[in-house]
């Protein structure tokens, strides 16, 4: 852990110019860029020994321009340590490096706002978005009130010096706004300071965790703080998410728990959706599936119809790839993750045609919102004749009301065929017995679904069919009687007055 007042860039290993120049196998594009730029400098600046650090002043305008390009590239790559070392080696000052150094000191508490160098104070007074007050007593009540809202969740046994922290926060925001390069580092410094206030943790610990390369570190820190996240950090969040998804972090790949919380902290979720969708052009089908799901979450939260449409279009293409590679698990996950069951009916078709429909009935699928109803609606629409499958599926999800409704539908279809006069035949009695069983089963399942009114209605229908069977049993073979089924009020009155009163 860093001690207060220690600049992290001072802890970096010393930079050896010879190593930068003559490394035969640069590992990154930035290393190649560094070699390309430094080759424009005079050979006197190149050390004769590998461990020699050269300190020289560059005066040539072209060399200064190339050096500035290098420093800017290093800052954009978040390597402030190397940028600072090179600036010292060539005695080249850089506005962005100076700003970041002072931001670090302010955040650590080793420097007060009133102790800032004059050229940094000048930047503050010229800031287009923030008015810097030279004395803490001149801070407006609006600024203090705003910060109180930001740090209202702090649980600390020691009273917080609100005026001092508010001044530091305002100065940090103004300085970060003045950065032309290294904005990623600046935004992380600002985020680290905000999180340190919100969680009552030392700033050094927070910033160290943010700078780690472990996937999900930034996201976990943001979630822990619970502070709204502006658009400036969306690039960092996207990089963290993509790294987590590619490395198979289940928390972010399947997005059922943490990711919705993260989206709720974003001011513009659709921007993160755009970045995730753009990052989905990779070869790993598993990672692409996860990124599409996350992007869809962002667009849905932002109610961005255009983004949702783009994601669904990409998802359809991806489903074809998954089908070709027979990645059934990922195909199911794409469907259940995006939850656009009507728009993605082609996945239902693919699973059914390839005898993989049972994948939708696996463990945990009953917890996916809307999936149970979507499966039954699909089966009833495209496979209505397969009634056994529909009933088994509904029973699997313990949707007893849907099972009862199916039995009611079957019973009514049977009774519709028995209108008018009924002949006492084997076929008629078989049809009536089947209808009575249908209504009886429906009554039982309605009871299991705790819908007592419907259960009583189904029971009455079963009793009515039983009465019809009783009337038929009193007749000789092939004799006819009036049907008691599917009658209106007037017909029921007539039957009671003419036929039933004889019994």
Q: How far apart are CA 503 and CA 497, in angstroms?
A: 11
> Within a domain: residue 434?
yes
How many CB atoms neighbour CB 3 within 10 A? 8
pLDDT tens for residues 55-114?
A: 556 667 787 888 888 888 888 887 888 888 888 888 888 888 888 888 888 888 888 888
Angle, CA of 406, 407 and 411, to the nearest 5°: 120
Indicate whether 441 belongs to any domain. Answer: yes
Section 251-280 average pLDDT:
76
The answer to whether residue 235 sits within a structural domain is no
User: How many C-beta atoms lie closer than 10 Å to residue 223's C-beta?
Assistant: 17
**Banded pLDDT at 421 (limits 50, 70, 90):** confident
pLDDT for 206: 73
Tell me, what DSSP letter sits at residue 366? Answer: G
The answer to whether 72 and 101 have CB atoms below 8 angstroms apart is no
Instruction: Print the domain residue range for 435.
Output: 399-502
Tokens 């009671």, located at residue: 496
Distance between CA 387 and CA 383 in Å, rounded? 8
Q: For helices 217-225 and 183-199, what crossing angle results, to 10°?
A: 40
| Mean predicted confidence (pLDDT) in 296-306 | 92
Q: Which residues of 103-135 are buried (b: 16+ CB within 10 A; e: fewer)?
A: bbbbbbeebebeebeeebbebbeebeebebbee
33, 58, 93 — which closes off a domain?
A: 93
Average pLDDT over residues 477-492: 74
Q: Is residue 121 part of a domain?
A: no
pLDDT digit string (tens) for 155-184? Answer: 333 433 445 777 888 888 888 888 888 888
**pLDDT at residue 217, rounded to an integer:** 66
Cβ neighbours for 172, distance < 8 A, ≥ 6 positions apart: 103, 106, 107, 189, 190, 193
Give the pLDDT score at 19. 34
Closest CA to 403 of 367, 450, 452, 442: 442
Inside any domain, residue 54: yes
Nearest partner of 121 among 75, 181, 167, 164, judged by Cα: 167
Total of domains in the chain: 2
CB atoms within 10 A of CB 209: 17
Residue bearing tokens 């020699």: 52
- 421 phi, psi to nearest 5 deg: -85, 135
SS3 track for 288-313: HHHHHHHHHHHHHHHCCHHHHHHHHH
SS3 of 372, please? helix
| Three-state DSSP state, 246 | helix
pLDDT for the residue 415: 87
On whether residue 338 sits in a domain, the answer given is: no
Query: DSSP letters along 252-296, please?
Result: HHH-SSHHHHHHHTBS-HHHHHHHHHHTT-SS-HHHHHHHHHHHH
Q: How confident is the model at residue 244 (pLDDT cuts 50, 70, 90)?
A: confident
Is the separation of the CB atoms in 80 and 100 below 8 Å?
A: yes
- The pLDDT value given to residue 47: 37
Q: What percent of the chain has pLDDT over 70?
A: 70
Q: 452-473 and 400-416 are packed helices; what angle lies between their axes, rounded to 10 degrees? A: 30
Question: Nearest Cα to 244, choosing from 258, 226, 230?
Answer: 258
Q: Is residue 353 part of a domain?
A: no
- Residue 304: pLDDT over 50: yes
* Domain C-terminal end among 77, 93, 109: 93
Q: Which of 30-34, 72-76, 361-365, 460-464 has the lowest mean pLDDT?
A: 30-34
What pLDDT, on the 0 to 100 scale, is given for residue 32? 42
Q: Which of 41, 68, 93 is the last residue of a domain?
A: 93
212 alpha carbon, distance to own chain's centre:
22
Distance between CA 310 and CA 298 in Å, rounded? 12
Tokens representing 14? 């010393």
- Joined together, the tokens standing for residue 230 give 């502006």
Q: Mean pLDDT score of the chain, rounded to an integer? A: 75
What separation in angstroms does the CA of 436 have from each of 307, 387, 483? 53, 18, 14
User: Which range, 61-65, 228-232, 491-495, is most confident?
Assistant: 61-65
């Amino acid at each position: 852990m860093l001690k207060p007042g220690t600049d992290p860039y001072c802890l970096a290993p010393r930079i050896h110019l010879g190593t930068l120049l003559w490394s035969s196998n640069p590992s990154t594009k930035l290393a190649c860029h560094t070699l390309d730029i430094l080759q424009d400098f005079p050979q006197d600046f190149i050390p004769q020994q590998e461990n020699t650090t050269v300190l020289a002043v560059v005066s040539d305008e072209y060399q200064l321009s190339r050096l500035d390009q290098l420093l800017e590239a290093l800052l954009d790559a978040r390597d402030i340590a190397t940028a600072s070392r090179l600036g010292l080696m060539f005695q080249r000052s850089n506005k962005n490096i100076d700003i970041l150094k002072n931001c670090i000191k302010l955040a650590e508490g080793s420097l007060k706002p009133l102790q800032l160098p004059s050229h940094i104070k000048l930047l503050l007074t010229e800031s287009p978005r923030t008015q810097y007050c030279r004395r803490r007593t001149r801070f407006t009540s609006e600024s203090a009130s705003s910060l109180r809202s930001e740090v209202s969740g702090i649980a600390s046994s020691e009273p917080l010096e609100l005026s001092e922290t508010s001044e530091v926060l305002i100065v940090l925001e103004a300085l970060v706004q003045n950065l032309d390069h290294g904005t990623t580092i600046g935004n992380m410094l600002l985020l680290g300071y905000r999180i340190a206030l919100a969680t009552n943790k030392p700033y050094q610990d927070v910033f160290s965790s943010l700078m780690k390369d472990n996937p999900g570190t930034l996201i976990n820190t943001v979630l822990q703080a619970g502070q709204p996240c502006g658009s400036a950090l969306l690039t960092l969040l996207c990089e963290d998410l993509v790294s987590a998804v590619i490395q198979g972090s289940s928390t972010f790949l399947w997005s059922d728990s943490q990711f919705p919380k993260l989206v709720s902290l974003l001011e513009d979720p659709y921007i993160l959706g755009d970045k995730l969708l753009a990052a989905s052009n990779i070869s790993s089908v598993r990672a692409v599936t996860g990124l599409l799901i996350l992007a869809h979450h962002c667009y849905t939260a932002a109610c961005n119809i255009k983004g949702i449409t783009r994601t669904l279009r990409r998802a359809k293409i991806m489903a074809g790839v998954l089908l070709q590679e027979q990645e059934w698990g990922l195909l199911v996950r794409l469907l259940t993750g995006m939850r656009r069951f009507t728009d993605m009916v082609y996945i239902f078709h693919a699973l059914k045609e390839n005898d993989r429909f049972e994948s939708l009935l696996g463990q945990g699928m009953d917890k996916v919102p809307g999936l149970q109803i979507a499966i039954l609606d699909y089966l009833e629409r495209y496979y209505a004749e397969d009634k056994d499958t529909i009933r088994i599926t509904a029973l699997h999800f313990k949707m007893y009301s849907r099972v009862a409704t199916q039995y009611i539908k079957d019973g009514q279809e049977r009774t519709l065929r028995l209108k008018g006069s009924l002949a006492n035949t084997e076929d008629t009695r078989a049809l009536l017995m089947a209808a009575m069983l249908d209504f009886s089963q429906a009554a039982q399942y309605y009871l299991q679904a705790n819908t007592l009114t419907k259960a009583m209605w189904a029971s009455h229908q079963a009793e009515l069919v039983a009465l019809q069977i009783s009337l038929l049993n009193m007749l000789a073979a092939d004799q006819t009687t009036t049907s008691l089924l599917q009658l209106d009020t007037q017909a029921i009155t007539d039957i009671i007055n003419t036929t039933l009163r004889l019994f």
